[in-house]
Amino acid sequence: MKSEKIICLDHDGNTHEVLASKLVMRPAVYGIIIRDERILLSKQWDGYDLPGGGVELGETIKEALIREVKEETGIEVKVNSLVDCKDSFFKTAISNKYLHSIHIYYLCDVSGGEITTEYFDEDEKSYLETAEWMDLGDIGKIKFYSSIDLIQVIKNAEKMQSNAF
């Protein structure tokens, strides 16, 4: 049964109750890029997120993922297995909009490129920093900016990747 009011999280983890009719739908896709027991993460403010973002009109999910990962990290990827799909209700930090986002997570392999900030768009320049390879063993200590339990999503991706070999 559809709720009339929805709880959205903001950048700082605060909750906001909003009418469902005030939400904007936004599909988004994120890459889980694991190599040599390390994961590539986008540095945002004083924390991290998986590289990825909104799917633009007319763009396929995989096209969006390839574009977003390159924009946020400089890395080119080959999209592999679907890991998970989650609902996310949040308030954007920049535009202060309330979103109902469907987050889609894929395992990806590096196919080229180098870590750089060269491809940030104007909005991203205000909050993103250079992406970093982080040790998988440290993911429990990382401050993630997401309304999704990314630690569990990453662990699921690790299991999938290890079962593939």
| Domain edges within the chain | 27-79+102-163
For residue 97, what pLDDT is reported?
A: 93
Helix (H) / strand (E) containing 7 = strand 5-9
Whole-angstrom Cα Rg for the chain: 16
Q: What pLDDT band is residue 127 in, cutting at 50, 70 and 90?
A: confident
Does 27-79+102-163 carry CATH code 3.90.79.10?
A: yes
Could you say which DSSP state residue 93 is in?
A: T
φ/ψ of residue 93, rounded to 5: -75, -30
Does 126 score more than 90 pLDDT? no
Whole-number percent of the chain with pLDDT over 90? 81
Q: Is 139 exposed, middle or buried (0-12, 13-18, 19+ CB in 10 A)?
A: middle
Banded model confidence at residue 95, pLDDT cuts 50, 70, 90: confident
| Greater pLDDT, 121 or 24 | 24
- pLDDT of residue 165 exceeding 60, the answer is no
